[in-house]
């Protein structure tokens, strides 16, 4: 059972363009939604995260938009750069303050930013 | 802090052999997670610990897989006997209570 569905599987964007990656979740009890960035040969690294009490969070060129009623959230990368080329994972967790805290990851999106 | 440290970085072994992967989490992190990453299945949670106690091992694929966390600074994931379908990148991650994960650089396992 895939609890977090991510799309698209791959994305090609021109330098300076906007990259948009979408995720949908099923469990309304999820209470923490991070995005991770992974470069080849490296482990995923936390990029930005949001909780369901806000609809948007921005950090530099990266923005998470969150739609609680639609059970969707998305990552926007403004002014995309070749250095942003990586695999991006969305994730969601239950009980982020409890003893059974764990993340469920989407399948990932391979982003390529052409110069 | 040196981050989450995994060893070895690469492991090539023959089918049927025992494989042990090691992880040193970030000091002070309450949680430790073992993930497996493949092209087909993405990131799969195998098992995780809270304060050295296994909380959920439902992702461990078979009895051939076992994990231990004898203390707060060390964990192992063992596969015995190994099979070619176990070939993957295995990640260890640690987290403070209710915080984001920090992943190690992974161990690329190849079983021939």
* Calpha distance B35→B42 (Å, rounded): 10
Q: How far, CA to CA in Å, does B48 sit from each of A103, B55, B62, B104?
A: 10, 6, 16, 15
> Chain B window 11-70: which residues touch A at a Cβ cutoff of 8 Å?
31, 33, 42-43, 45, 48, 50, 55-56
pLDDT in tens, A70-105: 999 999 999 999 999 999 999 998 765 565 577 889
Mean pLDDT of A48-68: 94
Interacting residues of A11 by C-beta distance below 8 A, sequence separation 6+? A19, A21, A109, A110, A111, A112
DSSP state of A42: S
**Phi and psi for A113 in degrees, rounded to 5?**
-110, 115
Res B2: pLDDT: 80
> Over its length of 112 residues, how does chain B's per-residue pLDDT go in tens digits?
689 999 999 999 999 999 999 999 999 998 999 999 998 888 999 999 999 999 889 999 889 999 999 999 999 999 999 999 999 999 999 998 766 789 999 999 999 9
Residue B14 contacts by C-beta under 8 Å, 6 or more apart in sequence? B82, B111, B112
pLDDT tens-digit readout, A25-35: 998 888 889 99
Considering only CB atoms, A103 lies closest to which of B55, B97, B101, namely B101
Find the angle CA(B36)-CA(A19)-CA(A59) to the nearest 5 degrees.
80
B102 touches chain A (CB under 8 A): yes
Q: Phi and psi of A9, rounded to 5°?
A: -70, -35
User: What number of C-beta contacts closer than 8 Å exist between A and B?
Assistant: 56
pLDDT of residue B48: 93
The rounded mean pLDDT for chain A is 92
Residue A45: pLDDT above 80? yes
Using CA coordinates, name the residue in chain A closest to B104.
A43
């Amino acid at each position: 059972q895939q609890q977090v569905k991510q799309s698209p599987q791959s994305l090609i964007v021109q330098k300076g363009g906007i990259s948009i990656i979408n995720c949908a979740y099923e469990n309304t009890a999820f209470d923490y939604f991070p995005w991770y960035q992974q470069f080849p040969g490296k482990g995923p690294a936390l990029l930005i995260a949001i909780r369901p009490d806000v609809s948007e969070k921005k950090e530099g060129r990266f923005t998470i938009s969150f739609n609680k009623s639609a059970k969707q959230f998305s990552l926007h990368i403004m002014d995309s750069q070749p250095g942003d080329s990586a695999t991006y994972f969305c994730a969601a967790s239950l009980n982020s303050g409890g003893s059974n805290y764990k993340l469920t990851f989407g399948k990932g999106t391979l982003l390529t930013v052409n110069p | 802090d040196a981050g989450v440290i995994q060893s070895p970085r690469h492991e090539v072994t023959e089918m049927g052999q025992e494989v042990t992967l090691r992880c040193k989490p970030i000091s002070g992190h309450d949680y430790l997670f073992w993930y497996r990453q493949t092209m087909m299945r993405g990131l799969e949670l195998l098992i995780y610990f809270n304060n050295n106690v296994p909380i959920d091992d439902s992702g461990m694929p078979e009895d051939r897989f076992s994990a231990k966390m004898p203390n707060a600074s060390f964990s192992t994931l063992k596969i015995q006997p190994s099979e070619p379908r176990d070939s993957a990148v295995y990640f260890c991650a640690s987290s403070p209570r209710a915080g984001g994960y920090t992943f190690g650089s992974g161990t690329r396992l190849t079983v021939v």
